[in-house]
Amino acid sequence: MCGIVGYIGDKSPTEVIMSGLHRLEYRGYDSAGVAVVNNGGLQCIKSLGKLKIMDQKLAEQPLDGKLGIGHTRWATHGVPSEVNSHPHFDMQKEIAVVHNGIIENYQELRDQLTAEGVTFRSQTDTETIAHLVRKYYQGDLFAAVKRALQDVTGAYAIGVISKDNPDLIVAARHGSPLIVGLGDDEAYIASDVPAIMKYTRKVLYIDNGQVCEIRRDGYKIEDVHGNPVQLEVKTVDWDDAAAEKEGYPHFMLKEIHQQPDVIRNTLRGRVDEGSEEVKLPDMNISVEELKACQKIVIVACGTAWHAGMVGKYLIEKFAKVPVELDLASEYRYRDPIVPEHTIMIPVSQSGETADTLEAIRIAKRLGAKVASIVNVVGSSVARESHGVVYQQAGPEIGVASTKAYTSQCTAFALFTIWMAEARGVMSKAQAKEMIAHLRAIPDKLQWVIDHKQHIIDLAALPKYRDAQSALYLGRNYNFPSALEGALKLKEISYIHAEGYAAGEMKHGPIALVTDELPVVCVAVEGDTYDKMVSNIQEIRARRGIVLSVATEGDEGIKQHSEDVIYVPSCHEPFSPIVVAVPLQLFAYYVAANRGCDVDQPRNLAKSVTVE
């Protein structure tokens, strides 16, 4: 939620900042702003709406300078408007601040500052930081920011510049992501690596409570009390093309097409060809801990939670350990019971989801071992966990998660085999067979992509494209597929869609079935196939429009369905990974046909760093 970028060096700061903000637009896109230090003053341009409006403004009124900061916003305090967009300033307009996060005591600070004679321009929490920095500024911006942050509670990643310091950016982090990029005689700050990948691969991951003084030829990091901090410079190995659309109309479509390679990457190094065992050393869990484990708790939000449900089905079936699956936003507000020998597996693409992070902290306090499934390397979830499986999916920029989901399911499959073998409930032969099934998945995903024309044709039909509402049904391993398919459709096409366990139909939702209701039924081969076919018949009997997702070669399903999308035959426990792709493609093409902004759906942001 919200993206920040800053630059100091010889390049045009607005060019670098706008290029970075475009890469961060997935974090928020209701307004934007840039400020630069120029000719002994601060100059700023703001705009309401997406970044392209900001691009136009900057083309008409270029801003020049040697350093600057910029922001793309997802509103929390104060409606989206120019006045509420960042950067925010002190009263004299000599100090500028961009901020991602929420200042929790902002009302108290605002009242206090107002009593001291400060006039606020906006309704934002961020503006308090600008006034606080001014209050403590005595010629040393670094010192003033450190002091100001001692008064602040809440979450922040900030970039601060001032008129008096044409060679300095001060940045700080607590709870919201922040990196510093180091170049030759230049430096960057950003919320996320893709923003600066085009310019540098040398990165410092700033940690909570750290404040950085950044100049073009060096930097200093301290905590808010002035204690020095040493950070290792990390090299990022993501390739820059990964953050571009590469000819696809949307990132989402590109990311759907990347999935065969993504799954190969998730498996890479963890299962060798012909192998009978899985290697997940970074999870930092010993075989003794796997054996002693009494309970697994999976926490996540949204799509990652659906992947967690796939994980629960797999782990309970094969590793025979009870799994509690929780929405992170619920886990944190109930009194969870964490018995001895509990392993928590948080799942998060961004690694910055506020609720997931809080769930981790609670579980750690209660004694759980925490090993997460995360995509973004060095993210907060990864760093706060005892161990991690990196998904190796590359940057996911489309707001609707696609490749992250299938790679999370794949990571769960790996973990399951590893744990089941360690606990002696899966033989080497069975493990080898499971691994072979996993390794076959990328080709199956490619098959679905190669046969997408049929999905494109279906998504153009008015009965689907213009539907008001849709149901998605699945059973067992594919109940989460139904939830995920429905989420994809609703978030990008704005068609109301619900996912249900097919067995629940008769307990209420069947009342919704009419001849105008598309019902997407996941009926691939497997243990519950016959039950699914019965459910499909019940829907057909009520004239619902059945669109089945079935196994290639299943001709019989056609007589019960209005339309069928086929997927290749696959090992049932891993079928959610394969089934996800046609459901993603269907949602994508329906949304594109409806003219929706697929990569940036209304009201959403990719990384939910506030509660």
- Cβ atoms of 180 and 203 within 8 Å: the answer is yes
Cis? peptide before 13, omega within 30° of 0: no
What is the smallest separation between the CB atom of 522 and ligand F6R, expressed in angstroms?
18
What is the smallest separation between the CB atom of 298 and ligand F6R, expressed in angstroms?
12
Task: State which of residues 45, 505, 608, 610 lies at the interface with ligand F6R (CB under 6 A).
Answer: 608
183 binds ligand F6R (CB under 6 A): no
| Residue 401 vs 406, nearer CB to ligand F6R | 401
The bridge status of strand 518-523 relative to strand 469-474 is: parallel
Task: State which of residues 9, 302, 394, 582 lies at the interface with ligand F6R (CB under 6 A).
Answer: 302
Structure tokens at 326: 């929780």
**Looking only at residues 491 through 520 of this chain, which bind ligand F6R when binding is defined by CB under 6 A?**
491
One character per residue 311-350, x = contact with ligand F6R (rule: CB under 6 A): -------------------------------------xxx
360 binds ligand F6R (CB under 6 A): no
| Residue 304 vs 592, nearer CB to ligand F6R | 304
Would the CA dihedral through 537, 538, 541, 543 be positive or negative? Answer: negative
What is the smallest separation between the CB atom of 491 and ligand F6R, expressed in angstroms?
6
Would the CA dihedral through 449, 453, 457, 458 be positive or negative? Answer: negative
Under 8 Å CB-to-CB from 191, ≥6 apart: which residues? 2, 3, 4, 5, 24, 27, 100, 157, 176, 177, 178, 179
| Residue 125 vs 192, nearer CB to ligand F6R | 192
What is the smallest separation between the CB atom of 98 and ligand F6R, expressed in angstroms?
22
| Angstrom distance (rounded) from CA 100 to CA 176 | 7
Candidate ranges 154-162, 189-197, 297-305, 309-317; the one touching ligand F6R (CB under 6 A): 297-305
| Angstrom distance (rounded) from CA 152 to CA 20 | 27
Q: What number of chain residues touch ligand F6R (CB under 6 A)?
A: 15
What is the smallest separation between the CB atom of 258 and ligand F6R, expressed in angstroms?
16
Task: Name beta bridge partners: 97.
Answer: 88, 160
**Looking only at residues 460 through 489 of this chain, which bind ligand F6R when binding is defined by CB under 6 A?**
487
Q: In angstroms, what CA-CA distances link 590 with 23, 180, 340, 433, 583?
A: 25, 40, 48, 37, 11
Under 8 Å CB-to-CB from 520, ≥6 apart: which residues? 470, 471, 472, 473, 482, 485, 486, 547, 548, 549, 583, 586
To the query of whether residue 295 is one of the catalytic residues in this protein, the response is no
Question: Which alpha helices (DSSP H) does 460-609 contain, by range?
Answer: 462-465, 479-493, 529-541, 575-593
128 binds ligand F6R (CB under 6 A): no
| Residue 84 vs 380, nearer CB to ligand F6R | 380
What is the smallest separation between the CB atom of 252 and ligand F6R, expressed in angstroms?
9
407 binds ligand F6R (CB under 6 A): no
Q: In angstroms, what CA-CA distances link 142 with 103, 160, 174?
A: 20, 9, 16
Task: State which of residues 353, 476, 528, 548 lies at the interface with ligand F6R (CB under 6 A).
Answer: 353
Residue 296, Cβ density class (10 Å: 0-12 exposed, 13-18 middle, ≥19 buried)? buried
- Cβ atoms of 574 and 267 within 8 Å: the answer is no
What is the smallest separation between the CB atom of 71 and ligand F6R, expressed in angstroms?
20
259 binds ligand F6R (CB under 6 A): no
Task: State which of residues 266, 401, 493, 609 lies at the interface with ligand F6R (CB under 6 A).
Answer: 401
What is the smallest separation between the CB atom of 349 and ligand F6R, expressed in angstroms?
3
To the query of whether residue 606 is one of the catalytic residues in this protein, the response is yes
- Cβ atoms of 410 and 441 within 8 Å: the answer is yes
Catalytic residue among 46, 254, 452, 606: 606
149 binds ligand F6R (CB under 6 A): no
Catalytic residue among 2, 212, 301, 409: 2
Question: Which alpha helices (DSSP H) does 169-269 contain, by range?
Answer: 251-257, 259-267
Task: State which of residues 304, 323, 570, 585 lies at the interface with ligand F6R (CB under 6 A).
Answer: 304
**Looking only at residues 39 through 98 of this chain, which bind ligand F6R when binding is defined by CB under 6 A?**
none
For the chain, give the longest Cα–Cα distance: 79
- Cβ atoms of 467 and 587 within 8 Å: the answer is no
| Residue 113 vs 487, nearer CB to ligand F6R | 487
266 binds ligand F6R (CB under 6 A): no
Strands in 295-300's sheet, in edge-to-edge order, are 323-327, 295-300, 342-348, 369-374, 387-390
191 binds ligand F6R (CB under 6 A): no
| Residue 54 vs 382, nearer CB to ligand F6R | 382
100 binds ligand F6R (CB under 6 A): no
3-state per-residue secondary structure call for 354-414: HHHHHHHHHHHHCCCEEEEEECCCCCHHHHHCCEEEECCCCCCCCCCCCHHHHHHHHHHHH
Candidate ranges 136-144, 223-231, 282-290, 299-307; the one touching ligand F6R (CB under 6 A): 299-307
Task: State which of residues 1, 103, 130, 400 lies at the interface with ligand F6R (CB under 6 A).
Answer: 400
Residue nearest to ligand F6R (CB): 302
Q: Which of 342, 325, 328 has the alpha carbon at shortest distance from 300?
A: 328
Catalytic positions: 2, 606
Residues that bind ligand F6R (CB under 6 A): 301-304, 348-350, 353, 356, 400-401, 487, 491, 607-608
